[in-house]
Amino acid sequence: MQLSNERLLADTQGLSQLTQKSLPIKVSYAIAKNIAKIQTELKVYDAERQKLIDKYSVKDADGKTLVGEDNQITIQIEFLEAWKKDIKDLQEIDVEIDIHKFNIDSLVNGNYDMSPGELMLLDYMILEE
């Protein structure tokens, strides 16, 4: 399945929170497997993002990226537009992930307290027959 880096980044925290819920074992297993696959893809994303940080960030006298007290980096003003474009391009890249799916009946046939937002996080994991 093709998913963008942006979607993977957006879904990671929500999926991790779902692992704390009491869900059917097949659903819980699918979520855990998919989180592991997503984390693998995000390692590549993070490495490429770091290259962009190294390229565009404000540096100290030794050429190392300056990190503020709030743990934030600053992009050199003359590179701000290039940074925005490159980060957007990186986030829009689609990656192929073999998503582990489960049948919607696993959730329908039980009393599981899930919000519509949580179900939206799982939409690409659900088999509807």
Please, which pLDDT band fits residue 119 given cuts at 50, 70 and 90? confident
Residues with Cβ within 8 Å of residue 59, at least 6 apart in sequence: 65, 66
pLDDT tens profile 53-108: 999 999 999 999 989 889 899 999 999 999 999 999 999 999 999 999 998 888 87
Best CA proximity match to 95, nearest among 53, 31, 37? 37
Residue type, 18: L
pLDDT at 129: 66
Locate 33 and state its tokens: 């497997």
Q: What percentage of the chain exceeds 90 in pLDDT? A: 72
The pTM assigned to this predicted structure is: 0.84
Average pLDDT value for the chain:
92
What average pLDDT does this structure show over 3-27? 93
> 112 pLDDT exceeds 90?
no
Buried b (16+ CB within 10 A) or exposed e, 52-66: beeebbeeeeeeeee
One DSSP character per residue, 66-93 reads PB-TTS-B-B-GGGHHHHHHHHHHHHH-
Domain count, the chain: 1
> 31 pLDDT exceeds 90?
yes
Owning domain of residue 31: 2-127
Cα gap 65→76, rounded to integer Å: 11
